[in-house]
Amino acid sequence: MHAGVLGSPIRHSLSPTLHRAGYAAAGLSDWEYTAHEVDEGGLAPFVAGLDASWRGLSLTMPLKVAAFDVADEVSALARAAGAINTLVRTQAGWSAHNTDVHGIVAALAEAGAAHVSSATIVGSGATARSALLGLVGLGARRVTVAARTPSRAEALRDVGDVDLQVVPLREWASTGDRAVVSTLPGGPANAVAAGHTRGDLSGVTLLDVVYADWPTPLARAAAAHGATVVSGLEMLVHQAARQFELFTGATAPVEAMQAAGREALGHTPDA
């Protein structure tokens, strides 16, 4: 059986490491997982050319929206997120899912933030929608979005039954929420948010969705102010574990996948 990850660029994807570790731990010696450089224009022909041995596809940027055009059916969660990161072959064709939401929920729950009544999202890009759905799933009824461009965050108001507040990015650490998800990429944007870190953040759990070049400036700043910081690697592992289960029908060996990811990146659980 075959599965793989598609995207552009793809050479730095950690998905092959995670899925292959899962196959090894689960004893699935007849499964293979490979990475393929595919852009938006190449997605449809790539999928059309796959034989019956292909059971699933992990999708990264820039394919998460283009996948709507190749999916035969789309889960309600993927449709609400406006993003597809998983295609699973079924008797009806290719079934589309979003496992990023599960990854966010599981990473926060594992860090002790399994139930929240309010939360903050830092950033208003594509991942913010999945973060909002995840936080609502954890019980949040009020969510504050701290954004560099507040008008962009207004598009999130159609997501779920939640009281959505929008504030400038500089106020992210002042909301009083105990659960925070940063959806900012690494680099300058992350550093800008780090510069706005203030106050005592003891009791706050911050999930930073970035996993490369860890810890990020924001993660370092939040930890220095007392927050419990969770790497985006944990989100990545849990979303991959859900994909593993959708592809294979077997229970994902999450600990083995976590260990492989941490080793590949040189992370320790508390790094």
Residues labelled as active-site residues: 64
Length of the chain: 271
Contact 97, 76 (CB under 8 A): no
Spell out the residues 6+ positions from residue 149 whose beta carbon is closer than 8 angstroms to its own. Answer: 124
Q: Which residue intervals of 213-266 are DSSP H helices?
A: 217-224, 232-248, 254-265
What does residue 259 show for φ and ψ, rounded to 5 degrees?
-60, -40
Grouping H, G, I as helix, E, B as strand and the rest as coil, residue 35 is strand
Q: Sheet of 228-231: strands edge to edge? A: 163-168, 142-147, 118-122, 179-182, 205-208, 228-231
Helix axes 232-248, 254-265, angle to 10 degrees: 140
Contact 227, 219 (CB under 8 A): no
Instruction: Give the start-end residues of each E strand in 54-173.
Output: 54-59, 73-74, 86-90, 93-97, 118-122, 142-147, 163-168
| Residue carrying the six token digits 């594992």 | 110
24 vs 31: CA distance, rounded Å: 9
